[in-house]
Amino acid sequence: MAILDEQHCEADVPGTAIRHPSAPQNGKTRKPDFSRVVRIAALSILLGGLSLSASAAEPHRAKPKHKPTGQVGQASWYDYKDGSKTASGQKISAKALTAAHRTMPFGSKLRVTNIRTGKSVIVVVNDRGPFHGKRIIDVNRRAAQKLGLIQIGVAQVRVERVVQVAEASD
For residue range 38-96, list pLDDT tens digits in order: 777 777 776 765 455 545 555 555 555 555 568 999 999 988 777 788 899 988 888 89
Instruction: Please state, in angstroms and rounded to a whole number, the distance separating the CA atoms of residues 128 and 102.
Output: 5
Cis peptide before 130 (omega within 30 of 0): yes
* pTM for the model: 0.57
Give, as one character, the DSSP assignment of residue 4. Answer: -
Q: How many CB atoms lie within 10 A of CB 158?
A: 18
Residues sharing a CB contact under 8 Å with residue 101, sequence separation 6 or more, in sequence order:
108, 110, 125, 127, 128, 129, 136, 137, 138, 159
